Amino acid sequence: MIMKLWILEARRDLPETDDPWKPWYDKNFGLVVRALTEEQARKLAQRAAGDESRSGKKPWLHASYSRCEELLPDGEADVLMINHKSA
């Protein structure tokens, strides 16, 4: 079985009243996960969640709160993910 790499990121187009990443501190905004399927990747991401899950919304499981895309090996050399927040 060959695993795939998935990148999951918080959606940034959420209304402030329904945004599990507000306030922004103590939360994960992106993860790279190794899994067979998107469903499995989302479940693994949810298990690794920070305070973004305290709302009870389980944002890594739902496309309305996060996006999940398979990382493919083709493409130009580049940095694939930087997730930095300064206080």
User: Where are the chain's structural domains?
Assistant: 4-71
Tens digit of each residue's pLDDT (9 = 90 or more) over 44-75: 999 999 999 988 899 999 999 999 999 998 88
Tens digit of each residue's pLDDT (9 = 90 or more) over 26-35: 899 999 999 9
Amino acid at 50: G
Tokens matching residue 7: 């990148």
Judge residue 71's burial from the number of C-beta atoms within 10 Å of its C-beta, 0-12 exposed, 13-18 middle, 19 or more buried.
Answer: middle
User: With a threshold of 0.75, does the pTM exceed it?
Assistant: yes
